[in-house]
Chain A
Amino acid sequence: MIGGLFIYNHKGEVLISRVYRDDIGRNAVDAFRVNVIHARQQVRSPVTNIARTSFFHIKRSNIWLAAVTKQNVNAAMVFEFLLKMVEVMQSYFGKITEENVKNNFVLIYEILDEILDFGYPQNTDTGILKTFITQQGVKSQSKEETSQITSQVTGQIGWRREGIKYRRNELFLDVLESVNLLMSPQGQVLSAHVAGRIVMKSYLSGMPECKFGINDKVLMDTRGRSNMDESSSRTGATSGKSSIAIDDCQFHQCVKLSKFETEHSISFIPPDGEFELMKYRTTKDISLPFRVIPLVREVGRSKMEVKVVVKSNFKPSLLAQKVEVRIPTPLNTSGVQVICMKGRAKYKASENAIVWKIKRMGGMKECQLSAEIELLNTSDKKKWTRPPISMNFEVPFAPSGFKVRYLKVFEPKLNYSDHDVIKWVRYIGRSGHYETRC
């Protein structure tokens, strides 16, 4: 298991050093600094073995987090733990910076003591941790309070405490999708997938049991009959395809996986506040919101002509926002003239790219940009490799066709019913790696 955990600043100075196992000595701290942080060459792997000691590291802004071990540990778990550690620290004191780490080092030691025992990760749920590890110092707790804490830390529903009360029971569902695309210059889709997340904010009293319905093909086929009325009325309104094929989905630990496997139903008792209920991935029938058509022509050695057409491909009534097209330019660019019909385009020398921003763009529209790029003569034999043109945008629909069909809340012990809960659903499609080669 994990033998020790170190946090360094960008210079390689140790900010936090917590050793869990005897086989990790002080020299391990230095070994990582010398061989990884101060290494001449860029790190080629997140796992490094130095003198039979293995180091796992991640980096957030300027801060290095490294877990050390001499054993054959579960590598995926170590990285998941480091990421979780970052999440916990962020929820306590915001951004991970040298200043923040130094300011909170006592707190970090306390957290590390709690969430890692002899190198074995323990309960890392921030909600629960915050009930008994606080920055204000521990108030002397009553017997009931402490036993409540311990039962939560170890409990079956470790992500929710009992006795939550809201005057208004309300929940928000955000369907957040990121569309990823790699397209050839000829307009052929090389790969495309949607990575979706469902983020839920729940403000519900008691221990509510929730059932969640989506338009996944598999779920609809098996559960379809019982909910026929509901689904037909909804899909009638939204039109388009009624169900989608989800390649794979993953759930927050509150979702009862065995039930999902056997009954194809998504049921859970949600944590209080915001959490990520589900992640999913689709690759079929994605409606790509934009298409980029590049045309690059090299005119001699000192000039290049670029023409880029962007077409929006969704209902005209909808508006895309924060549209940005990034057209890479060669390193030896000396000057750029840009003309675009819509939005603003600028050559940014520091980023080696023309950045074209369009604040809003309706569906089924077309915009064009043309640019002349002047090049310096260089003796460099190596060809410029032409990185792909990338795009950023935000659209108010789910490009995968994902739909929330229902979310029902049951709380048998308290006197509110499903109808009393105010529910909000929002769909946002964003660009992931949305790239067109040119």
Chain B
Amino acid sequence: MTDSKYFTTTKKGEVFELKTELQSDKKEKKKEAVKKVIASMTVGKDVSALFPDVLNCIQTDNLELKKLVYLYLMNYAKSQPDMAIMAVNTFVRDCEDSNPLIRALAVRTMGCIRVDKIIDYLCQPLRNCLKDEDPYVRKTAAVCVAKLHDINAQLVEDQGFLDQLRDLLSDSNPMVVANAVAAISEILETSPTAQQVLEMNSSTINKLLTALNECTEWGQVFILDAISNYTPKDDKEAQSICERVTPRLAHANAAVVLSAVKVVMKFMEMLEANSEYISTLVKKLAPPLVTLLSAEPEIQYVALRNINLVVQKRPEILKNEMKVFFVKYNDPIYVKLEKLDIMIRLTSQANIAQVLAELKEYATEVDVDFVRKSVRAIGRCAIKVEPAAERCVSTLLDLIQTKVNYVVQEAIVVIKDIFRKYPNKYESIIATLCENLDTLDEPEARASMIWIIGEYAERIDNADELLESFLEGFQDENTQVQLQLLTAIVKLFLKRPTDTQDLVQQVLSLATQDSDNPDLRDRGYIYWRLLSTDPAAAKEVVLAEKPLISEETDLIEPTLLDELICNISSLASVYHKPPNAFVEGSKSSLRKILPPRSQSGNVGDDQPSPPAEAPSAPAATVIPGVDSLIGDLLDMDLGGPSMQQQQMYPPQPTSQTPVQGGGGMDLLGEGLDSLLGGPAPSGDSLGGLGDIFGMPTAQSYVPPQEVWLPASKGKGLEVTGTFSRKQGNVIMELTFANKAMQPMTGFAIQFNKNSFGLMPASPINIPSALLPNQSTSYSLQLSTMGAVQRMDPLANLQVAIKNNIDVFYFSCLVPMHALFVEDGEMEKRVFLATWKDIPAQNEVQHEICNVQHNADTISQKLKNNNVFTIAKRNVEGQDMLYQSLKLTNGIWVLAELKIQPNNPNFMLSLKARAMDVYQGIQQAFDNILHN
């Protein structure tokens, strides 16, 4: 007789039949009936109507039957709270049974019945069970506290269960300790108030480390995960914990290994970067990580996702283990894709030959996604390892010859990137690429091909024909392709103006008149006006030199990476997303962050230590992933730095004489006017341009004037003033007011030595005498060539003013932003490297309250004051602006501005080598943003 028959009954009146069976006197029949009920419950039938009948079976000495009834109760108690209360007596009695298995069963089940009324009865039995003589009951009761906390946190705290739970950490039985730790970790995650009671300290950590050696594999995972949430008080403690955790790396259970890796990776941050112990740890971490790759594929997948993080954080750990990531023919696809990702990260000049041979092999496999990724990987190798670029390109050409449609398309997309990285090096292959024009049907590939044609239009004889062929179906193209085509044709026109006017007119009218896409239309108008007003400027804009692209892509943004490192082995590390991106509610709102490097024991070591990565580690470069990189590539005519330059120094309207191909241009101008079909006054067009570029608003912030020298102290002379920045100079705006009874003449000004070497660029020159009750304003240009002496506060400036009456002294504060220079824009790559390079303890946070602007306005406002936004990211719904600025004395300051939606308070983190400037800069940010 088998139990599977219970799954098959589907007759009508089944419930009624079950009811009678449940009421049967025969024990066997009763049990059969309950089994049927459970089977129905499993397949999703509603058997809640049987609640009282099933409940009647609860009083039995048959443990199997009891368990089934309990299972039923757990499922339906919530829908029948009044009935469920009837079970309480049995629970309470069972909690005092002589058999520990029954005591534990009762307390375990009771915790799962989420009915408020039952909870009140649960407290006393639970309290007893936490002190039970049997460890099996205690370990079950420990978890029950977490269950109860989930239902009613306040009750748990009021009843003192937290204290009891904490006491269990000292239990003699390791499994009780492990379950207590699990419960505590869960409670801490949801309830910040429990912190005071359950806070881990070094003595509890010690107890845990002792229990670690003796408990089950799962218990070890709970303990290691709990330890990873602890922050050691100094590097010594961090090291001693690491020493006791590393033996776990040899455990057969992958979860134990990964949790140990998490603890080690996190605590390594606290150790001195170049210490010997770090290199020991690095050596110890590699083998267990590699071994995880021989586990079941699902475990491999989790391991690979985590290795991806480890490799980004500390590339030195696995730099010699490339081979183990080679893809096996039978690997599941998800393992293959992850391995490929890690292979690219580990690629270096040393192993490029092997990697390339592998990638070529993969590019002939069956799975389309995998093949595409492999082809893309070849391109990334070319960009990453310069000496191998040529080999990569020829491999890609081979692949294009296979004529497999998606291979060709993918190859063209990456070749475009290679052209960007190595301009003017591989144009010889363009002919081959052009042969495949017809087969391209994906927008990205088409756009890439068009970009290549536009970029090298002067070398492709039939570029006009090629582009024209794309133009035929302009309306049906993807926006990406349309934008690219527009730009490419304008490029072509600028390079070969004589025979391509028709084409450019055609595309401009298509873009501006027949399209309802605002991006396309705007770009079309910009080109149009540029071409019609100032072809030279157009050339400068459209054919500007492009910034080089970065070597690494897909890098996880550093703060996120650090957070993920703290979440190794967890779901967050699998998704590569912070926990609050997929966990509901305000739970786990506590972001896990890496501990700062401890300072104990290395006093006197003032120099900023070199970054943790070995020099061989590729400098992490641009933040954005593939998508944004591609966006950058295609849109650079508008969004790139070249354009920003334009924005700052608007093109001076030059003479109308065209520089090249004059006749063509004139013709075009007329043609365009007529095409626009109406009043298109050319004089207005520049204004329009200005509008688009937002020129009129580009003004830097000037604080209101304040009184520097009151008349009472200046013998009637009142000096008010402020500082501003104009045309790259610091300007001191002075207003002299004569409140005395006699005219004043012979003004002169002098500065004391100051922090930034400010001095008047020329003597003050007030031509006529300043009569009583008169005032005059004067803009004094300052230079920064003067003598330097550190002042306190830093921006303090001591000024002496002389006139025919006396010499007066006063001091004023130079607002720091007047010292931000125009070329303070760092390259992304440099920015990232610098950010990493500056020790973490130099980072200082400052809250800017009550700002009523969005990220874009802010970035514009700051830019007007020479604070440049290098990158903007959106992390977990908040905007992060990464900014750089440079002071007149060459000090670079990096800033990270965190803007949360609906929160007027921004968080500003500054990083610089000289921390003295922070205060002034924070002040400057405050002023600029509140202006």
Contacts and interface: CB of A to CB of B under 8 A. Distances in A.
Bound pair (A, B) = yes
Interface of A: 1, 13-17, 19-23, 26, 29, 42, 44-47, 49, 52, 54, 56, 58, 69-77, 79-83, 99, 102-106, 109-110, 113, 117-118, 120-125, 132, 137-138, 140-141, 143, 146-147, 149-151, 153-156, 158, 182, 184, 190-191, 193, 195, 247-253, 256-258, 260-261, 276, 279, 281, 381-383, 385-388, 390, 433, 435, 437
Given A45-B301, A80-B253, A154-B173, A113 B247 contact: no
Given A44-B333, A104-B3, A250-B251, A79 B296 contact: yes
A120 B114 contact: no
B517 interface: no
Main secondary structure of the interface of A (DSSP, over half): mixed
B42 A16 contact: yes
Contacts of A191: 323-324, 326
B259 interface: yes
Nearest to A276: B252
A26 B334 CA distance: 28
Residue among A47, A80, A156, A281 facing the most chain B CB atoms (10 A cut-off): A80
Given A74-B221, A80-B255, A124-B218, A54 B290 contact: no
Contacts of A1: 182, 186
A433 B335 CA distance: 16
Given A156-B214, A281-B291, A109 B114 contact: no
Interface of B: 2-4, 6-7, 35, 38-39, 42-44, 61-64, 67-68, 71, 75, 98-101, 104, 108, 111-112, 114, 134-137, 139-140, 143-144, 146-147, 150, 173-176, 179, 182, 186, 213-218, 221-222, 225, 244, 246-248, 250-255, 257-259, 287-288, 290-291, 294, 296-299, 301-303, 323-324, 326, 328-330, 333-334, 354, 357-358, 361, 364-366, 369, 402-404, 567, 569-575, 579, 582-584, 587-588
A4 to B, nearest CB: 12
B329 A435 contact: yes
A258 B579 CA distance: 33
B71 A113 contact: yes
Contacts of A386: 364
Residue among A76, A83, A104, A151 facing the most chain B CB atoms (10 A cut-off): A76
B37 to A, nearest CB: 11
B298 A58 contact: yes
15 contacts: A56-B298, A58-B298, A72-B571, A72-B588, A75-B570, A102-B7, A103-B4, A117-B179, A118-B112, A120-B143, A146-B99, A154-B135, A247-B291, A250-B291, A257-B248
A254 B610 CA distance: 43
A81 B222 CA distance: 13
B927 to A, nearest CB: 41
Given A122-B139, A156-B215, A191-B326, 15 more contacts: A42-B333, A44-B333, A56-B298, A72-B582, A76-B258, A76-B569, A79-B298, A105-B7, A117-B143, A120-B218, A123-B216, A150-B135, A248-B290, A253-B216, A257-B250
Given A257-B250, A260-B247, A76 B64 contact: no
Contacts of B75: 19
A238 to B, nearest CB: 26
Given A76-B255, A276-B252, A113 B67 contact: yes
B569 A109 contact: no
A235 B227 CA distance: 44
A184 B361 CA distance: 10
B3 A154 contact: no
A247 B248 CA distance: 16
A379 B213 CA distance: 64
B182 A105 contact: no
Contacts of A52: 582-584
Given A77-B221, A146-B99, A99 B4 contact: yes
Residue among A13, A75, A140 facing the most chain B CB atoms (10 A cut-off): A75
Nearest to B147: A118
B218 A433 contact: no
Contact of A54 (B139, B257, B365, B582): B582
Contacts of B67: 109-110, 113
Contacts of B38: 105-106, 109
Nearest to B361: A437
Contacts of A17: 42, 44
A11 to B, nearest CB: 12
Contacts of A154: 135-136, 139, 173, 175-176
